Chains A and B, each alone.
Chain A
Amino acid sequence: MTSTTIVEPRDHLQAQMRWGWGEITFWVATLLPFILAPDYLLLASQVAIAALFVLSLDLILGFAGIVSLGHAAYFGTGAYTAGLISKWGWGEPLTGLFMAAVAAGLFGYVTSFIIARFRHLPLIMITLGIGLLLQESANSASWLTGGFDGLQGIHTWPILGKFRFDLYGYAAYGYALAALFVIFLGARRLIHSPFGLALRGIRDNSQRMRAIGATTHSHIRTIYTIAAMIAGAAGAILAQTTETVSLEVLGFQRSADVLVMLILGGTGRLYGGLLGAVVYMVARDQFSGLNPQYWYFWIGLLLIAVVVVLPNGLLGGLSLLTRHAKARS
Chain B
Amino acid sequence: MSESALAARGIDKRFGSLVVAANVNLALPPGARHALIGPNGAGKTTLINLMTGMLRPDGGQILLGKEDVTALAPEERVRRGLARTYQINSLFPHLTALETVTLAVCERRRVAQTWWRRLITYREEIEEAHQILGALMLGAVCHRPARELAYGQQRLLEIALALASRPKVLLLDEPAAGVPREESKELFAAIAGLSRNIAVLFIEHDMTLVFRFASRVIVMVGGSILVEGTPAEIASDPQVRAVYLGKATRA
Contact = CB atoms under 8 A, between A and B. Distances in A.
A13 B119 contact: yes
Contacts of B98: 9, 12-13
Contact of B114 (A3, A194, A213): A194
Contact of A200 (B92, B115, B161): B92
Contacts, number: 139
B181 interface: no
B102 interface: yes
B216 interface: no
B114 A212 contact: no
Interface stretch (B56-64, B126-134, B183-191, B201-209): B126-134
B75 interface: yes
**Of B118, B122, B143, which is in contact with the most chain A CB atoms at under 10 Å from its CB?**
B118
A6 B92 contact: no
A140 interface: no
Contact of A196 (B91, B115, B140, B143): B115
A211 interface: yes
27 contacts: A2-B134, A4-B139, A6-B127, A9-B98, A9-B129, A9-B142, A13-B119, A193-B118, A193-B119, A194-B103, A194-B113, A194-B122, A194-B125, A197-B106, A198-B107, A198-B113, A200-B99, A201-B100, A205-B90, A208-B91, A208-B92, A210-B78, A211-B75, A213-B78, A214-B75, A216-B75, A222-B115
**Of B52, B112, B127, B161, which is in contact with the most chain A CB atoms at under 10 Å from its CB?**
B112
A195 B119 CA distance: 9
A218 interface: yes
Given A200-B95, A218-B113, A207 B103 contact: no
B112 A197 contact: yes
Interface in B15-45: none
Given A194-B113, A194-B115, 19 more contacts: A2-B140, A4-B139, A9-B98, A13-B126, A193-B117, A193-B119, A194-B106, A194-B114, A197-B103, A197-B106, A197-B119, A201-B95, A210-B74, A210-B78, A211-B84, A212-B103, A212-B161, A213-B78, A226-B115
B99 A213 contact: no
B78 A211 contact: yes
B90 A189 contact: no
A94 interface: no
Interface in A230-245: none
A219 B112 contact: yes
**Of A4, A9, A198, A213, which is in contact with the most chain B CB atoms at under 10 Å from its CB?**
A213
**Across the A-B interface, the 3 shortest Cβ-Cβ residue pairs:** A213-B78, A195-B115, A204-B92
A17 interface: yes
A214 B108 CA distance: 8
| Size category, B interface | 35 or more
Interface in A16-58: 17
- Which secondary structure dominates chain B's binding surface? helix
Interface string B147-166: 00000000000000110110
Given A210-B75, A212-B165, A194 B117 contact: yes
B140 A193 contact: no
A145 B109 CA distance: 47
Interface residues of A, number: 38
**Of B115, B117, B126, which is in contact with the most chain A CB atoms at under 10 Å from its CB?**
B115
A194 B113 CA distance: 7
B94 interface: yes
**Of A6, A193, A209, A215, which is in contact with the most chain B CB atoms at under 10 Å from its CB?**
A193
Given A208-B92, A212-B164, A213-B75, A189 B142 contact: no
A194 B111 contact: yes
Nearest to B113: A195
A198 B164 CA distance: 15
Interface of A: 1-4, 6, 9-10, 12-14, 17, 189-190, 192-198, 200-201, 204-205, 207-216, 218-219, 222, 226
Contact of A205 (B92, B140, B162, B164): B92
A194 B124 CA distance: 13
Contacts of A207: 90
A205 B79 CA distance: 19
Contacts of A14: 120
B123 interface: yes
Contacts of A204: 91-95
A216 B79 CA distance: 13
Contacts of B83: 211-212
**Of B104, B120, B161, B162, which is in contact with the most chain A CB atoms at under 10 Å from its CB?**
B120
Contact of A193 (B108, B116, B139, B165): B116
Contacts of B120: 10, 13-14, 17, 192
Contacts of A205: 90-93
A216 B106 CA distance: 13
B145 to A, nearest CB: 10
A208 B74 CA distance: 10
A194 B119 contact: yes
A214 B112 contact: yes
**Of A4, A210, A211, which is in contact with the most chain B CB atoms at under 10 Å from its CB?**
A211
Contacts of B142: 9
A212 B90 CA distance: 11
